[in-house]
Amino acid sequence: MIVESIEKELHEQLSKLQPAEQRRVLDFARSLKRARPKGIPGKSLLKFAGTIPLEDLKQMQAAIESDCERVDIDGW
């Protein structure tokens, strides 16, 4: 179900496009439905639970806590 506000906004934006651009939007919307990954059910992954050694988990946690969510302003 499409939220009314989204549907309204889409209609407004589409009405401003040329027919060829509208076709591109339609093709893109259709591709989104086809491109959905199938995925793997979580219960089939349970066999891997507990297989990572505790020391490795601690190292991963430390790396995440020390390096994630940092911004290097000069990195761009």
Number of domains in the chain: 1
Average pLDDT, whole number, for the chain? 87
15 occurs within a structural domain: yes
24 occurs within a structural domain: yes
23 occurs within a structural domain: yes
- Give the pLDDT confidence score for residue 65 in this predicted structure: 87
Question: Which amino acid is located at 61 in the chain?
Answer: Q
- Give the pLDDT confidence score for residue 53 in this predicted structure: 95
39 occurs within a structural domain: no
Structural domain span for residue 28: 4-34
Say which range, 9-13, 20-24, 58-62, 65-69, has the weakest mean pLDDT.
65-69
8 occurs within a structural domain: yes
70 occurs within a structural domain: no
58 occurs within a structural domain: no
pLDDT per position as a tens digit, 29-52: 888 887 777 888 889 999 999 999
17 occurs within a structural domain: yes
- Residue 43 CA, distance from chain mean position: 22
